[in-house]
Structure 1
Amino acid sequence: MISKTLLEIRLNSLIDLRMFYFISLYFRLENKESHKSQEIGNLIRVYNRSKREEAESEPLNLYVEDEKGNLLAGLIAETFGNWLEIEYLFVKEELRGQGIGSKLLQQAESEAKNRNCCFAFVNTYQFQAPDFYQKHGYKEVFYLQDYLYIRQRYYYQKNL
């Protein structure tokens, strides 16, 4: 016959074990980009859109490829209401300084104007492209100083 105390210990251990099993089954840490992280990004975008003023939201993505279809540069953005929000602008390092980024930005701004956008917004790090955006008429709205290991993070906007 099992004593009441021993039975309680076994039940508590079983509950603890089940809780641990539940956590290890449903919570997983990933230290890499995956389809799940992209899915989370999409879910938060859908949620954010549901909370803001009614406005048509549309992706605005531009790509530069070579003749074999290899990606060389691109701009990933979204227009909503009267805003263009630039999420990423990338040019392969060996192609920088040739005007590709400027052309991508100009094309995105032109298309945003066609969609009745009046403003553009972007954020960038100190080691990325603050001078690039300033050269293209973007004004600093604010910045985060001593942002982790990269020093400053800048937020810019531009009247289109």
Structure 2
Amino acid sequence: MHFRLENKASQKAQEIGDLIRAYNRSKREEAESEPLNLYVEDEKGNLLAGLVAETFGNWLEIEYLFVKEELREQGIGSKLLQQAEREAKNRNCRFAFVNTYQFQAPDFYQRHGYKEVFTLQDYPYTGQRYYYQKDL
């Protein structure tokens, strides 16, 4: 048996991911994962805002919600979030999950009914990372 440290992305890392996903599928109930991505573009197709998520079983899992800085405070993020939640409900999701840093959008998610589940303190060194969920 040989232990090897590698400090870069590699095929082995992908293989480990594939192995753990296969193991997880063999042990948990069936649940389909389906992308749920929304984009706001200008007339030329340039990206202005967007939400990247997936639905998985009963859950909407939000990975990214981004609005260009000059377009913030105009309700675009709220519309993206509401549209994603509506689509998740159409897919029979009952809950939503998101994480955000203290300098990103904790107040935004709280205003939209998300409740704090837990917070990582001193992440990565001095910041905070919040984990929220919401009943849909």
What TM-score comes out, normalization by structure 1 length?
0.71
More helix by share: 1
Distance (whole Å) between structure 1 residues aligned to residue 126 and residue 7 of structure 2? 28
Higher gyration radius (CA): 1
Question: Which letter does structure 1 place at the counterpart of 2:85?
Answer: E
5+ unaligned residues in a row in structure 1: which ranges?
A: 1-22, 31-35
CA contact (8 A) 1:61 1:74 kept: yes
- Counterparts of 1:5-16 in structure 2, within 5 Å, are none
More strand by share: 2
Q: Which runs of 4+ in 1 moved over 6 A?
A: none
Deviation, 1:150, is 5.1
RMSD across aligned C-alpha pairs, in angstroms? 2.3
The answer on 1:56 being equivalent to 2:35 is no
Query: 3-state SS of the aligned residue for 1:87?
Result: strand
Q: Which residue is equivalent to 2:100?
A: 124
Distance (whole Å) between structure 2 residues aligned to residue 150 and residue 65 of structure 1? 35
Deviation, 1:56, is 1.7
Query: 3-state SS of the aligned residue for 1:75?
Result: strand
CA 1:102–1:150: 2 relative to 1, 3 Å: farther
5+ unaligned residues in a row in structure 2: which ranges?
A: none
What TM-score comes out, normalization by structure 2 length?
0.83
Distance (whole Å) between structure 2 residues aligned to residue 78 and residue 56 of structure 1? 10
CA contact (8 A) 1:65 1:71 kept: yes
Number of residue-to-residue matches in the alignment: 126
- Counterparts of 1:29-48 in structure 2, within 5 Å, are 29=8, 40=14, 43=17, 47=21
